[in-house]
């Protein structure tokens, strides 16, 4: 069952929960998170400026610079999200 979060509510999740939330937002099932899918994930996490957060997360986690986050880059995305206060260690 998808995790439902009100827009004005900010969640604190552990790393595994963050990873699951990001994977849940791979809506086309291609094993990659597009900018649009990341935007929806950061909205769900309660980001005040999700578009900016997507740009910053891409610069941190998109190691091959292909414009999406692959499964091999997901751990870097989670580390970035935790560093920004979206999770706990």
Across-strand partners of 69? 33
Q: Is residue 8 part of a domain?
A: no
CA end-to-end distance (rounded Å), the chain: 24
Q: Is residue 4 part of a domain?
A: no
Q: How many domains does the chain have?
A: 1
Query: Which of 23-27, 30-34, 45-49, 65-69 is least confident?
Result: 45-49
Task: Say how far apart CA 44 and CA 58 lie, in whole Å.
Answer: 17
We report the CATH number of the domain holding residue 43 as 1.10.238.10
Residue 89: band (very low, low, confident or very high) from pLDDT cuts 50, 70, 90: very low
Query: Closest by alpha carbon to 84, among 76, 65, 8?
Result: 76
Q: Which residues of 52-80 are buried (b: 16+ CB within 10 A; e: fewer)?
A: ebbeebbebbbeeeeebbbeebbeebbeb
């Amino acid at each position: 069952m998808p995790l439902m979060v009100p827009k004005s509510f900010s969640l604190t999740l552990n790393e595994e929960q963050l990873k699951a939330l990001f994977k849940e937002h791979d809506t086309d099932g291609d094993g990659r998170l597009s900018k649009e899918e990341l935007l929806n994930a950061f909205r769900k996490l309660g980001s005040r400026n999700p578009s900016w957060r997507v740009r910053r997360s891409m610069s941190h986690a998109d190691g091959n610079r292909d414009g999406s986050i692959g499964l091999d880059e997901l751990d870097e995305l989670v580390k970035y999200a935790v560093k920004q206060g979206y999770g706990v260690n």
